[in-house]
Homo-oligomer: A and B are copies of this chain.
């Protein structure tokens, strides 16, 4: 039951020989969620051995080229690979007409439908819920409309403890009711609370992607308690003014959000090309939030199954 993020691109607008521009792919139980799709994303997906047929949905944070220019090429490739199932793209509304126009121009006979879902730029909103996965979009603050995304597992119902089914002779017909929060009354009239009868095999895992954004404290409660927070850190701490002016964050600001949110781990990325070595940014973030790691193209951050209670 995989829940792991692969970094496909970690540069800001100017790619380097080591870093493609922004894209992450989350493998959530073998469904792939692509977050941002910069130029070269399809090449990175292939390099890091993602299965194109498992791409479920694409989430675009904002409409700057370094987050979106890989879409037409990827769609062309999915088409050549024979995709026929619908592809849903979650993005800001102005993307739809220009992307459809580009597809009509550059892609031979598209064989699968593309559905666009517009993002809400004002408030957090659940935008996807299928099976055990929920995706929430959250508003960020950048030069143009920008959204973050939180992808979570949900555990709908607990399991029933088998030994207690036998012990209390619970009829099969009662099981679902108890899982959904009903208590059980024994033939003798004794009430057994549902919490006693059930357990969670695993706890839901979660990943939040926040890029591009300037620092704002209200982001922290929106990503509270996530297992992994990806927060852009385009600049070092000495460039806080520049960060503010361009709608970006410093390493310390990313770490501050992670700390306030009580995240388990922080990944920083979207590095300015001026940092040939990003370890200075990692150190600045770790001074505030020790569990900080740099995004490097090809890195995989796995969130193992968390034992339940």
Which residues does A use to contact B, with CB under 8 Å? 13-17, 20, 39-40, 42-43, 46-47, 63-66, 68-70, 72-73, 76-77, 80-81, 94, 98, 101-102, 105-108
A-B residue pairs, 7 tightest by C-beta: A65-B106, A39-B73, A40-B40, A17-B47, A69-B73, A17-B46, A65-B76
- In the assembled complex, 23 residue pairs joining A and B whose CB atoms fall closer than 8 Å, in A order, are A13-B76, A13-B77, A13-B80, A14-B80, A14-B81, A15-B77, A17-B43, A17-B46, A39-B39, A39-B42, A39-B43, A39-B69, A40-B40, A63-B105, A64-B108, A65-B72, A66-B76, A69-B69, A69-B106, A98-B101, A98-B102, A101-B101, A102-B102
The distance in angstroms between the C-alpha atoms of A9 and B69, with both chains bound, is 18
Chain B residues with Cβ below 8 Å from A47 are 17
Q: Are A14 and B77 in contact (CB under 8 A)?
A: yes
The distance in angstroms between the C-alpha atoms of A108 and B63, with both chains bound, is 11
Distance in Å: Cβ of A25 to nearest Cβ of chain B? 15
A144, closest chain B residue (CB): B108
A103, closest chain B residue (CB): B65
The distance in angstroms between the C-alpha atoms of A47 and B43, with both chains bound, is 15
Residue in B17, B42, B69 whose CB lies within 8 Å of A72: B69
Known: A39-B43, A42-B39. A68 touches B15 (CB 8 A): no
The distance in angstroms between the C-alpha atoms of A15 and B43, with both chains bound, is 7
Q: Are B46 and A16 in contact (CB under 8 A)?
A: yes
The distance in angstroms between the C-alpha atoms of A81 and B274, with both chains bound, is 12
The distance in angstroms between the C-alpha atoms of A21 and B242, with both chains bound, is 36
The distance in angstroms between the C-alpha atoms of A47 and B42, with both chains bound, is 18
Chain B residues with Cβ below 8 Å from A105 are 63, 94, 98
Chain B residues with Cβ below 8 Å from A69 are 39, 69, 72-73, 76, 106
